Amino acid sequence: MLARLTMIASAATPGMRKGRFPKDEALEPQALERAGTLAVSLRRADRVWTSPALAARRTAEALGLDATVEPLLAEQDFARWAGKSFEEVQEGDPEGMAAWFADADAAPHGGESLAAVARRGAALMERLAGDRGHTIALTHAVPIRAAIVHVLGAPLSSVWKIDIEPLSLTEFRGDGRRWVLHASGAIVAG
């Protein structure tokens, strides 16, 4: 295997803990301590990238990683739904919520569709496919789920059956022709 990609889900934010759609916010206070625990187990990387989001950048800092911002790792843009709970959106926009779950190209919130996130992730993995060495990518649940289904060749709707916890690790290995899912779910308790 030539390439190794370790995707790390950003540490938890207050909104995440309350089941809200992501928006750009700081980490919850205890997240920094949990990230410090994970830092000691990370292997050396040739490249470290982070999503532009505050939570991902702060997670990289808490892990002691000097990361470069990579826009392809951004969280899905939820526009009008950002910061709202699932229940609030379901109550206020039930048709939009149904469309979002039924159609990967739908963006009823006025932001980015799941299919667009998947295309960004696939582009990133294709770019990395021929690179030797280890890349660590600090990102978010939706891009990690999309990467998993991309590698498995599963339908994009499968993302709804994958749970990605804060500070979990998902590893892929690539030989220049294809990626394989190597491991997923190493989590720092909390």
Question: How does DSSP classify residue 57?
Answer: H
Model confidence band, residue 106 (pLDDT cutoffs 50, 70, 90): very high
Phi, psi dihedrals of residue 50, rounded to the nearest 5°: -135, 150
- Orientation angle between helical segments 54-62 and 29-39, nearest 10 degrees: 50
Model confidence band, residue 84 (pLDDT cutoffs 50, 70, 90): very high
- Domains in the chain: how many in total? 1
At 27, which CATH number?
A: 3.40.50.1240
User: What would the mean pLDDT of 93-116 be, rounded to a whole number?
Assistant: 95
Residue 164: its pLDDT value, please? Answer: 94
Residue 189 has pLDDT above 60, yes or no: no
Rounded to whole angstroms, the Cα distance separating 108 from 140 reads: 21
**Selection from 54, 105, 63, 46 nearest residue 82 by Cα:** 54
How does the average pLDDT of the chain come out, rounded?
91
Residue 188 has pLDDT above 60, yes or no: no
pLDDT digits (tens, 9 = 90+) for 138-166: 999 999 999 999 999 999 999 999 999 99
pTM of the complete model = 0.92
Model confidence band, residue 35 (pLDDT cutoffs 50, 70, 90): confident
CB count, 10 Å around CB of 134?
17
The residue among 148 and 34 whose pLDDT is bigger is 148
Rounded to whole angstroms, the Cα distance separating 155 from 152 reads: 9
Domain residues for the domain of 123 are: 3-186
DSSP conformation letters of 87-152: HHHHHH-HHHHHHHHH-TT--TTSS--HHHHHHHHHHHHHHHTT--EEEEEEE-HHHHHHHHHHHH
Model confidence band, residue 1 (pLDDT cutoffs 50, 70, 90): low
pLDDT digits (tens, 9 = 90+) for 37-70: 777 778 789 999 999 999 999 999 999 999 999 9
